[in-house]
């Protein structure tokens, strides 16, 4: 059983139920919708497509709605423009237009401007009203819509644009499982989004800015999970620090029992190739060995020629990486270990190892117990028995967790029986097997995990 989850991005290349069904069979656990592309009506149609597919397959499939964020882009140009090394050009008013002219306000001479994922590099020479005079350090072609990064500047642009607020409203109305918050700068951005969303959907904070790297612990504490968004992150801080930041963010999330996704360019060659490169397979393996809950496909499935093959390759690479030595994780933070649910999770994993259990069944109303147990990376399946469909879909993102829908039964014996029945029907439990069960009394109350039981089926 592969324990690392796979997130696939929806797009024109795969947005047909037949293709999506094959992708799920190949290993997809959640679908991401990138709201930087398409209209709100198209995003809603994608969500409905996933819901219909999940009903047909009778399995929980999560949806991640990714906000566009305050991404600065080149505005509308009549035609592409070539700029050459050594030239001076204007960015902003009366020059190369910017989607957020307010970016000019805090920029200073000597700071860098990168265009098209860093392919073009400029240095600010002077601020001239609502424009920046820049010297071209590395030239190339500038065209409409290309990304513009200010790696040395903290931009005065709010994390939530009007478009993002509409996306959050859609996420709440459609009851998606996760919102990925682009260009998160700090915990205050997460709190602002939570004020709009309420308890659900859960928020995945995307770490892709230099300021976010410096505040990772605060951001993870405020959010429900995180994403290593390596595209803009690599432009902002340079590619050479990305592996270290990836490892550190994964450690922070693991210790807090919050899911973490590694994203961007994981199997990029498969946009046009039916097989991955060796380096790409190694990249997936590194993310898995670092302790990521999930790995993500972007262009590979959204616009690539081989969306199903990309999922198959990702699943094989992740499974192979899991097949070696146990994945080393930092363990739960002292704060969590000092609480009863965290202590029970640690004890359940230890007991399961001692008695040779084939699975740990977590009876959960919120998903928290299952996340705590999974954060310890046990070598046996974590079966999350829950009466709530939305919780089952949320847990589709969490490493090693198999969500099982059960009726909300009262009483330890009744709960044990319905949980074991669900485990047997899913093929994880057989007569004669030992299973460790965790639950909380009073039953179905969030945060009350205080019971561990060993059962022989």
- Per the omega criterion (within 30 degrees of 0), is the bond before 201 cis? yes
Query: CA end-to-end span of the chain, whole Å?
Result: 21
* CA distances in angstroms from 380 to 41, 228, 348, 356, 452, listed in the order given: 42, 27, 12, 10, 16
Query: How far, in Å, CA of 429 to CA of 384, rounded?
Result: 13
Residues annotated catalytic, as ranges: 32, 73, 206, 264
DSSP, collapsed to helix, strand or coil, labels residue 140 as strand
Nearest 5 degrees, angle CA 208-CA 214-CA 219?
70
CB burial readout 16-49, b (16+ within 10 A) else e: eeeebebbbebbbbbbbbbbebbeeeebeebbeb
Contact between 177 and 30 (Cβ < 8 Å): yes
423: helix, coil or strand?
helix
User: DSSP H helical segments within 162-208, as ranges?
Assistant: 162-174, 187-197
Q: Which one-letter DSSP state was computed for residue 326?
A: P
Which residues 6+ apart lie within 8 Å of 192 measured at CB? 159, 160
Q: Cβ atoms within 10 A of the Cβ of 51, count?
A: 16
**264 contact partners, CB below 8 Å, separation of at least 6:** 229, 230, 231, 234, 296, 298
Pick from 452, 227, 234, 237: which is nearest to 343 by CA?
452
Instruction: Say how far residue 212 (Cα) sits from the centre of its chain.
Output: 16
| E strand residue ranges, 166-313 | 178-181, 202-207, 225-229, 260-263, 294-297
CA 63/CA 57 separation, integer angstroms: 15
Task: Let me know: does 219 contact 209? Beta carbons within 8 Å.
Answer: no
Is residue 347 a contact partner of residue 365, using CB atoms and an 8 Å limit? no
Backbone dihedral angles phi then psi of residue 357, each to the nearest 5 degrees: -65, 150
Q: Give the integer Cα–Cα distance in Å for 98 and 115.
A: 11
């Amino acid at each position: 059983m592969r324990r690392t989850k796979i997130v696939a991005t929806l797009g024109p290349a795969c947005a047909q139920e037949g293709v999506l069904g094959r992708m799920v069979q190949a290993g997809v656990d959640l679908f991401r919708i990138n709201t930087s592309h398409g209209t709100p009506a198209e995003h809603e149609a994608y969500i409905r497509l996933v819901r219909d597919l999940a009903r047909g397959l009778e399995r929980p499939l999560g949806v991640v709605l990714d906000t566009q964020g305050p991404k600065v882009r080149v505005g509308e140009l009549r035609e592409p423009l070539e700029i050459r090394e050594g030239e001076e050009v204007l960015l902003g008013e009366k020059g190369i237009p910017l989607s957020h002219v307010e970016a000019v306000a805090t920029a200073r001479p000597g700071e860098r401007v990168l265009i098209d994922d860093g392919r073009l590099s400029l240095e600010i020479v002077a601020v001239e009203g609502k424009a920046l005079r820049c010297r071209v350090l590395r030239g190339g072609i500038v065209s409409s819509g290309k990304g513009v990064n200010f790696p040395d500047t903290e931009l005065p642009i709010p994390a939530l644009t009007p478009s993002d607020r509409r996306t959050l409203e859609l996420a709440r109305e459609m009851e998606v499982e996760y919102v990925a918050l682009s260009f998160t700068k700090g915990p205050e951005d997460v709190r602002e989004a939570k004020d709009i969303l309420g308890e659900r959907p859960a928020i995945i904070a995307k770490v892709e800015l230099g300021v976010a790297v410096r505040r990772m612990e605060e951001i993870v504490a405020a959010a429900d999970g995180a994403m290593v968004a390596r595209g803009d992150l690599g432009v902002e801080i340079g590619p050479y620090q990305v592996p270290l930041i990836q490892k550190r963010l994964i450690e922070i999330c693991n210790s807090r029992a919050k899911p973490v996704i590694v994203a961007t360019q994981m199997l990029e060659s498969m946009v046009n190739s039916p097989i991955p490169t060796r380096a790409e397979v190694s990249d997936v393996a590194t993310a898995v060995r670092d302790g990521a809950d999930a790995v993500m496909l972007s262009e590979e499935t959204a616009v690539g020629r081989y969306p199903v093959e990309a999922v198959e390759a990702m699943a094989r690479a992740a499974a192979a990486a899991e097949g070696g030595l146990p994945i080393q994780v930092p363990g739960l933070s002292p704060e969590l270990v000092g609480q009863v649910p965290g202590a029970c999770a640690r004890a359940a994993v230890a007991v399961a190892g001692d008695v040779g259990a084939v699975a740990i069944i977590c009876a959960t109303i919120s998903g928290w117990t299952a996340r705590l147990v999974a954060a310890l990376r046990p070598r046996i399946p974590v079966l999350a028995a829950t009466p709530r469909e939305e919780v089952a879909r949320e847990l589709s993102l969490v490493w090693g967790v198999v969500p099982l829908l059960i009726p909300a039964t009262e009483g330890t014996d009744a709960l044990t029986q319905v949980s074991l029945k669900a485990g047997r029907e899913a093929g994880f439990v057989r007569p004669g097997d030992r299973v460790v069960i965790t639950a909380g009394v009073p039953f179905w109350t969030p945060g009350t995990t205080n019971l561990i039981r060993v059962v022989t089926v």
